[in-house]
Amino acid sequence: MRALLLVSLAFAAACTEPEGDYRIPWEARVGDGPWERLLVRTPPVRGEFVVRARLPEVKGPAPALHLWHHRMLVQVTLDGVPLPRAFEGDSYLLLPPDHAGRLVEATYRSRGWLRYSRYIGEVGPAFELWTPWARLELPGFSVGALLVLLGLALFVAGTTRRGGASPWARLGLFSAPLGVVFIADTRFASLLFHHAETWRLATGIAIFLFPAGLALFVDGLFGDGPARVLRRASWVCLGLLVVGLAFDLLGVALIESVNLVVYVVLLVIVGQSLRRAWPQAKAGERSARAFLAGLSVAIGVALPDIAVAWGVGSQVVPLAPWGQLAFVFAMGVAIEAQFQDNRRRLGEASEELAARLEALEARTREVQALNAELRRQVAERSHELEKALGGALTPMPGSTALQPGELFAGRFRIVRLLGVGGMGAVYEVTRLSDSKTLALKVMTGAVDADAARRFAREAEIAARVQHARLVSVLDVGVTDSGTLYLAMELVTGKSLESQHARYGDPAWALPLLADVAEGLAVLHAAGVVHRDLKPANVLLEPDSSGRLRAKIADFGIARWSAADGEVDPLADTQTPGSTPVGAHQTLTRSGMVMGTPVYMAPELARGAQRAQPSSDVFGFAVMAWEVLTRQRPFTGPPIFFVLAGKPLDVPTATPAGAGAAGALLLAALDVEPQRRPTAAQLASALRAAAG
């Protein structure tokens, strides 16, 4: 592009006006009016008019007549005989050798935009008339053609890309119409397409489009500000185009009559462009500096052309096309500069984001470490509390019901009572340190040492085993008055038991059962047996997406399990007081039955100390059967059959609606614990069945 610009400038600099003065005076008449000699510029002429003159003798080869305003020319005659044109669509006419003194008449038809003066045409040697004008207009035509081709390419490429019109498309909307204006202003236009009205309308339309393109370009590159001046100006240009076209096609007024308004809008657009680009240029933005440099060149180079158009001075070569070409080139440089600047800023932002992310990850690791340490401390406090309570053989004092607004342990504000169980009451509370809403479980009534230690062990287990499908414990302690408490996360939903009306709906039940099996698998992996899994101990709560999820709660009778052949650190076969204070205490007597009978595995009939993870799996299968079918798999509690010496009537068919997981649920009800599947296997099968 730079090489083409330099070559064209060098070629245009060699252009000169025709040597000598071949202009001749004319006289004219409009309609049937009188003939009048043309001396000064007249107002625009509307309609048909005729001009005539006596031809002087032309010395030189190929005498020719050159008429201006060639677009409106209808016919030319020499002594009443039509003259042929040298080029189709042009106004160069070859004269016969005996042309001197003969009368030439030219008929024009104007719609009101043509002005003429005393010099409406000239005669002379054809080469001397044609060559200077061709050289004079060739640069404008070349620049115009280049702008049109470049603008169309940019517009098509920019609008077909994803994400809407790009800055390149907006530059094309400015460049292509501007090129049409330059082409139409030359005689080469008629060589491309000889239809004066079409070129007139094309020029009128282009004059409305390129200011709109400029406004949209600046808006896309530098923004428009709160007043939206540029965007509104572009819509004004398009609105004036519609009005001007309608007036022209209906014969009300020419489209050129609205051009003056467009030029006013163009001044507003240029002013707003300077206002938007100047602060960014001062801030060092290369795109704004390139744009302002191109705009300055375009305005400065066009000033001589504007002066000539207003009749001030004369000009050898029109410079406006070159200035606009430089402006379009600068606009392209501005787009590329902004792209580079944006890429640089994106790189800097990415580095900053990476640094922040690294810091956030470090902070997250720190928080996770603190949470792990907090859980460890809670578990150790629970364990130490359990050991300390081993020597307390007298019942602990009970606690009275807590009232809303009451302060508990100096750290919790009571909100409301959530429920009352055999070992204690559960309240909704607000933790004063961070205003977090929690559930507070408080031991109530007269409680013996075993129950107190069991309460503390519940806190220890829940603190050590953390998972989304388990209700987590955040704190445990004892008040000065001797009341044991533990703070848990608050699950706002109801229990699975309260949703009995929805039992029998596999689409609803399967995802929840998969959640419970997943939580049970986590407990077993940590070496914990729940020993009281039932619908009442499964809480339901919607997650962030609104999907109902299940959590296992109440580890009041849970215990650390021991593998076959290993010694359980909380062996249930010991008796209270048989170990010194500070050692693990037994919490379940030999042969003691603990749990809810209808969900207890058959082997637990000989004592809860025999509970293993497979026992939880059996209870889970009973619960799953009930939730899926609205019926339990046995006619009575399984342990009653064992105690009565009767065989257990295990179902032979899988539960309806369980799909592929039904076979595993049936196997989980096997009388032999070793033949039952694991909780992890059940979780996987139920999750697949739930889809």
Give the pLDDT confidence of 218-252 residue by residue, as tens digits.
Answer: 998 888 878 889 999 999 999 999 998 888 888 78
Whether 586 shows a pLDDT value over 60: the answer reads no
- 377 pLDDT band, cuts 50/70/90, is low
pLDDT tier at 112, thresholds 50, 70, 90:
low
Look over the chain and give the mean of its residue pLDDT values, rounded to a whole number: 79
For residue range 296-320, what is the model confidence (pLDDT) as tens digits? 888 888 887 777 666 566 555 677 8
Q: Over 70: is that where the pLDDT of 389 sits? A: no
Q: Among residues of the chain, what percentage have pLDDT more than 70?
A: 76
Q: How far is CA 526 from the centre of its chain?
A: 43
* 459 pLDDT tier (thresholds 50, 70, 90): low
- Res 31: pLDDT: 79
Quick one: pLDDT at residue 587?
A: 40
Query: What pLDDT shows up at residue 360?
Result: 79
332 has a pLDDT exceeding 70: yes
What pLDDT shows up at residue 590?
A: 42
Q: Which domains does the chain have, with CATH numbers?
A: 2-127 (2.60.120), 139-346 (1.20.1070), 402-489 (3.30.200.20), 497-690 (1.10.510.10)
Helices (H), 390-469: 449-464
Enclosing H/E stretch for 275: helix 259-282
How far, in Å, are 18, 22, 188, 449 from residue 134 at the CA level?
A: 11, 16, 8, 115
pLDDT at residue number 584: 35
* pLDDT value at residue 358: 80
Is the pLDDT at 386 greater than 60, yes or no? Answer: no
Helix 679-690 vs helix 613-629: crossing angle, to nearest 10: 30
pLDDT at 562: 47
From first CA to last CA, the distance across the chain in angstroms is 62
* Tokens, residue 57: 């003798």
More confident of the two residues 284 and 592: 284
Q: What is the pLDDT of residues 424-458, one digit of tens each?
A: 788 999 988 888 899 998 887 656 666 666 666 66
> Would you say residue 270 has pLDDT above 70?
yes
Q: What is the pTM of this model?
A: 0.47
Contacts of 124 (CB under 8 A, 6+ apart): 18, 20, 22, 58, 60, 63, 64, 66
**Residues 149-203: tens digit of each pLDDT:** 999 998 888 777 665 558 888 999 999 999 998 888 887 777 677 676 788 888 8
Q: Of 42 and 204, which is predicted with more confidence? A: 204
Answer for the pair 556, 423: CB distance below 8 angstroms, yes or no.
Answer: yes
- pLDDT surpasses 60 at 411: yes
DSSP string, 192-238: H---HHHHHHHHHHHHHHHHHHHHHHHHHHH--TTTTHHHHHHHHHH
Query: What DSSP element (H or E) covers 123?
Result: strand 121-125
Q: How many residues does the chain have?
A: 691
Q: What's the whole-number mean pLDDT along residues 391-399?
A: 41
Task: Tell me what pLDDT residue 608 has.
Answer: 62
Across 113-117, 194-198, 257-261, 652-656, least confident range: 113-117
* Closest by CA position to 381, among listed 444, 295, 456, 472: 456
Task: Name 106's Cβ contacts closer than 8 Å, sequence gap at least 6.
Answer: 50, 51, 52, 67, 73, 75, 76, 120, 121
Question: Tell me, what's the pLDDT at 395?
Answer: 37
Indicate the range of 7-21, 38-52, 468-482 predicted with least confidence. 7-21
> 92 near 64, Cβ under 8 Å?
yes
Alpha helices in 390-536 (DSSP H): 449-464, 506-525
Compute the average pLDDT of residues 137-148. Answer: 88
What amino acid positions are annotated as catalytic residues? 532
For 547-637, strand residue ranges (E) read 548-552, 559-560
How much is the pLDDT for 463?
A: 65
CA separation for the pair 173, 123 (Å, rounded): 41
* CB 604 within 8 Å of CB 648: no
